[in-house]
Structure 1
């Protein structure tokens, strides 16, 4: 584990602590999903929103809740950092740990259904719902669009998320996926 992961996890924590009270709860995880659904102006009763809610509930149960070392139903930054260190130690587990939720977010962000996320869609979801600056969104998008196609396909998004959660390269574009980290 490197210090870069701690910085990335702290950045993710800031976005996941939706109510800003310094801890992540099941409610924060649900609110995170609702925030993305609302940003896309998608019906909360729709299939993608339902899959996202189920995926986030599973993410809470299998990844976040076990981090709660003192059993208070809340995960603070030290618990989350240590928990991510343990839970996200093996990139081979990405398909079970992060992949299903990532697919739901991809479907939610890909509003026009062309199976790719363009820069506007990326900026909207990470900017409005993820509290990432427009400049950071544009820079990260450009760096992640390795083939210069003007869009990120599902595989590119999965590579970026795998790099964010499991990678140790501070210069990787995905290191700044959830906002610029201070290195």
Structure 2
């Protein structure tokens, strides 16, 4: 698959992160996105999961700001975001560790029964919190469940998000996560 898929997916990620739709992402967008996820799971303020989510999103914002805010204005445009990720920010081990931290916070918060797996219903709550369409949610779940056991493991989830941010290969399950593969 071409690099066009990766760019489309990065634009899809940017759109999810740009909570106010102003064409830029800022620390406020990341705080709002974390709040939306916390609300979707009814996480009490200052609870361990709430705190982990807020910290993970704050760290992710800092990684993106450092790697993508090329004009130093404290916000990142879609063009800056895509250019930074495509030029290697997503391959940086520090960036990937930060993204993994977000994955773990989301995974732990969404795993309501604490069984170490995300069910289809739990996954739908994640996607509902970030306003993804039902057909994208269904297709994303089916692709992320690489072993076909009807649930998504932590490893499947993290690998999927990493692929979403780094791969232009449709055979990688994460490339299906934001619906930019033509499944809309």
The reply to whether TM is greater than 0.5 is yes
Deviation at 1:17, TM superposition (A): 0.2
How far the C-alpha of 1:179 sits from its partner, in A, is: 3.2
Report the Cα offset of residue 27 of structure 1.
0.4
Gaps of 5+ in 2: none
Partner of 1:99: 100
The answer for unaligned runs of 5 or more in structure 1 is none
SS of residue in 2 equivalent to 1:36? helix
CA distance in structure 2 between the partners assigned to 1:180 and 1:88 by the alignment: 18
Instruction: Give 4+ residue runs of structure 1 displaced > 4 Å after superposition.
Output: 92-95
Match in the other structure for 2:112:
111
Q: 1:42-81, aligned counterparts within 5 Å?
A: 42-81=43-82
2:173 matched residue in structure 1: 173
2-side partners of 1:78 and 1:94: how far apart?
18
TM-score normalized by the length of structure 2: 0.90
Deviations 1:90-112, CA, capped at 9 Å, x for gaps? 5x556523111110110011111
Partner residue, 1:155: 155
1:84 aligns with 2:85: yes
Distance 2:51 2:70 in 1: 29
Compared CA separation, residues 156 and 94, structure 1 to 2 (3 A): farther
Distance in structure 2 (CA, Å) of the matches to 1:80 and 1:148: 33
- 8 A Cα contact 1:65 1:75, kept in partner: no
Taking the aligned partners of 1:117 and 1:162, their CA distance within structure 2 comes to 17
Deviation, 1:44, is: 2.3
Q: Identify which range, 40-49 or 14-23, moves more after superposition.
A: 40-49
- Aligned-partner Cα distance in 2 for 1:138–1:104: 22
The CA distance in 2 between the partners of 1:123 and 1:15, in whole Å, is 15
Q: Is the 8 A contact 1:29 1:56 kept in 2?
A: yes
